[in-house]
Amino acid sequence: MHSPAVEHRAYLVPTGFLDADHAAVVAFATGAARSAADAIERATALYYAVRDRIRYDAHDIDLRPEAMRASSILARGAGFCVAKAVVLAAAARALEIPSRLGFADVRNHLATESMRRAMGTDLFVFHGYAELWLQGRWVKVTPAFNKALCERFGVAPLEFNGRHDSLFQQVDRDGKRYMEYVCDRGQCADLPLDRLRAAFEDHYPALVSDGVYAVDRREGSGS
């Protein structure tokens, strides 16, 4: 495999949350990219594996440290946007692709009524995505919403070719406003869990108890 530049090696090492050397993460990554010929193909294969094989679930967010490791998220087979970005970033490192996590606040104009009621807003703080170092630059990629969920909500699933940024769509298939990026919270080599928890506790105090973020599931798992 091509060795990345020395300045990017900090984005290759396993961390407490991006446990890229865990057997489950390695198996997931190598299995997903088994037939890939280069880094672009490996990154693309990983994206689709995380997008569609890990179910998006915004209604049960467990912010305990042990639950936010990539290996733990893989074991559950589901997670919210930050959890899925953690898995993608860890899997990329397992295949020697430098990766980091990016965060932004987004306004979800199609949030379900249960989410709006529970949160008191359609603003989602600390939306998580991954950034992969490919062909000499950082490429942003959002693996959050699996294909089946997008079809259910009438939104085209995000595609990724390894060369261009892949971020949430601004409108759905009917032209209605969908996702709006409000502010950028920057990038990190590992999950800044303390900052994430503090932001959730500040914006959604009624939803966080002992690190578990709970929302009524009766309207399904889409946000």
CA distances from 42 to 31, 126, 164, 172 (A): 10, 27, 15, 29
- Residue 212 tokens read as 């578990």
- Residue 61 tokens read as 């967010």
What is the greatest pairwise CA distance in the chain? 49
**Higher pLDDT residue, 150 or 116?**
150
Please give the class, per CATH, of domain 6-214: alpha beta
Report the pLDDT value the prediction gives residue 42, as an integer from 0 to 100. Answer: 97
**Long-range contacts, stretch 183-188, CB < 8 angstroms, 24+ apart:** 183/104, 183/105, 184/102, 184/103, 184/104, 185/102, 185/103, 185/104, 185/105, 185/126, 186/102, 186/103, 187/100, 187/101, 187/102, 187/103, 187/131, 187/138, 188/100, 188/101, 188/102, 188/103
The predicted model gives 167-186 an average pLDDT of 69
Question: How would residue 212 be classed by pLDDT, with cut points 50, 70 and 90?
Answer: low
**Long-range contacts, stretch 201-205, CB < 8 angstroms, 24+ apart:** 203/119, 203/121, 203/123, 203/125, 204/118, 204/119, 204/120
Report the pLDDT value the prediction gives residue 115, as an integer from 0 to 100. Answer: 67
Report the pLDDT value the prediction gives residue 150, as an integer from 0 to 100. Answer: 80
Report the pLDDT value the prediction gives residue 2, as an integer from 0 to 100. Answer: 46
pLDDT digits (tens, 9 = 90+) for 19-73: 999 999 999 999 999 988 999 999 999 999 999 999 998 776 888 999 999 999 9
